[in-house]
Amino acid sequence: MDFSVQLLAGLSLLMIFGLINNIQADHHEMGKTKWGIVDGEEVYLFTLKNKNGVVAKITNYGALLTELHVPDRDGKIDDIVLGFDNLQDYLSGHPYFGATVGRVANRIAKGKFRLDGKEYTLATNNAPNHLHGGEKGFDKQVWSVKSANTHRIEMTYTSADGEEGYPGQLVTTVVYSLADNDTLRIDMSASAQTPTIVNIVNHSYWNLAGHDSGNILDHQLQLNAQSYTPVDQTFIPTGNIDTVKNTPFDFTQSKKIGQDIEQLPGNGKDDPGGYDINFVLAGELGQMRLAAKVKDTDSGRVMEVHTTDPGVQFYTGNFLDGSIKGKNGTTYQKHAAFCLETQKYPDSINKEGKEGWHSVILRPSGSYVHTDLYKFYTE
């Protein structure tokens, strides 16, 4: 074979390898769709898939989980999270559907806290308290996508010193990954150069029968929690940690979500009734353990929630009132979904040093790490 033939053969091989690499790159980009522009920044919708047909859709606006398609016992696949079909509906306002919530999730009493002797004042966007990071928390920010393929997406957001009244710059990373064993994993981490406070959660609304299937009161729930943190009339924990025994909050054995819900009738539009309370999980902070098991008996779908955080806010969509139209025009009524928001306890910064409570203070010498696993199977 003369030199020219060898050169031609070599070039052909290079072209083939280049084509293969391009195909592989295209394959990894297949799940990325332009979704719109917010504050001059591109927003995308990413699709994760596994070999069993489970599909998760995630957007870098709010690091939101917008869809999760999971098979039932007969192989029928349904989307089991509440949300919208398009970006504009998310921009128009919603109750944190699928959102990554921060800098501090849940409530801070009267929007005030002290850190190292200095008092800070936050927005009271859930009067009289601060809720879920304020008027424009992490759920309303465009996150930077660091890497993405059909099994994993990593996003970061840098919250500036003073944003929403919080001290110090905070760099937060969220990673969604979907495994072939039908487990959706969410890793949340953060670092700071000056002292601040942080408590990041995923706020997905779940209905294991399908997002458009009605209420979740017949779902069976079991919580790995012997105690809970009672609250005042504005949903701020009193500081006590009480046993769930002989209360409607006892889910130590599996029972229907609706079994005792009528014992929580509420007191008007500011408390429409239902569960909205933090449970104290068994196990140690940082240790991955089972937090909850939920089953929809009709479809056979089961979801286990495992977490490294010490608490879980169980919420039954009490403020859904039919005014929101979600995916496929579905009207989301009261109790159309439940949330299991793994977290450090609400208002922890104002309970600092109290026995049984966990600090939300992050210093430059430390790191914030919070991991959730959502495992799906059928029974």
Please give the pLDDT value at position 267: 86
Q: 21-35, 109-123, 251-265, 329-343: lowest mean pLDDT where?
A: 21-35
CA 115 vs CA 80, 193, 349, 352, 356: distances in Å: 40, 15, 8, 10, 20
Does residue 210 register a pLDDT over 60?
yes
- CATH number of the domain encompassing residue 38: 2.70.98.10
pLDDT tens digit sequence for 261-284: 999 999 877 899 999 999 999 999
Given a cut of 70, whether residue 25 has pLDDT beyond it is no
In this predicted structure, the answer to whether residue 139 has a pLDDT above a threshold of 90 is: yes
Q: Are 44 and 9 within one domain?
A: no
Tell how strand 118-121 and strand 112-115 pair up: antiparallel
- pLDDT above 90 covers what percent of the chain? 90
Summarize pLDDT for 33-75 with one digit per residue, the tens: 999 999 999 999 999 999 999 999 999 999 999 999 999 999 9
Q: Based on the structure, what is the number of domains in the chain?
A: 2
Compare 3 and 219 and report the one with higher pLDDT. 219
**pLDDT tens readout for residues 145-190:** 999 999 999 999 999 999 999 999 999 999 999 999 999 999 999 9
In this predicted structure, the answer to whether residue 1 has a pLDDT above a threshold of 90 is no
Q: Do 21 and 121 share a structural domain?
A: no
- Write out pLDDT tens, residues 326-344: 999 999 999 999 999 999 9
Q: How confident is the model at residue 13 (pLDDT cuts 50, 70, 90)?
A: very low
Same domain as 26, residue 38: no
Cα-Cα-Cα-Cα dihedral sign, residues 103, 104, 106, 108: negative
CA distance 67 to 84: 9
* Predicted local distance difference test score (pLDDT) of residue 280: 98
Indicate whether 119 and 25 sit together in one domain: no
The pLDDT value recorded for residue 124 is: 98
Annotated active-site positions, please?
203, 341
Domain, as residue range, for 134? 33-378
Q: Is 20 found in the same domain as 115?
A: no
Q: Are residues 14 and 120 in the same domain?
A: no
Q: Which residues of 250-276 are buried (b: 16+ CB within 10 A; e: fewer)?
A: bbeeeeebbeebeebeeeeeebbbbbb
Residue 346 predicted with pLDDT over 70: yes
Same domain (yes/no): 10, 101: no
Together in a domain, 4 and 108: no
305 and 209 in a common domain: yes
Across residues 248-266, what is the average pLDDT? 97
Tell me what pLDDT residue 269 has. Answer: 78
Amino acid at 231: V
How high is the pLDDT of residue 347? 98
Q: In whole angstroms, give the CA distance from residue 279 to residue 340.
A: 10
| Residues 92, 13 within the same domain | no
Residue 270 is predicted with a pLDDT of 83
Using alpha carbons, select from 155, 171, 119 the residue that is nearest to residue 43: 155
Average pLDDT over residues 289-300: 98
If asked whether residues 21 and 49 sit together in one domain, one would say no
Q: Is a pLDDT exceeding 90 seen at residue 226?
A: yes
Nearest of 71, 91, 90 to residue 82 by alpha carbon:
90
Buried b (16+ CB within 10 A) or exposed e, 71-102: bbeeeeebbbbbbbeebebbeeebbbbbbbbb
Compute the mean pLDDT over every residue in the chain, rounded to the nearest whole number.
93
Reported as a pLDDT band with limits 50, 70 and 90, residue 2 is low
Do 16 and 127 have their domain in common? no
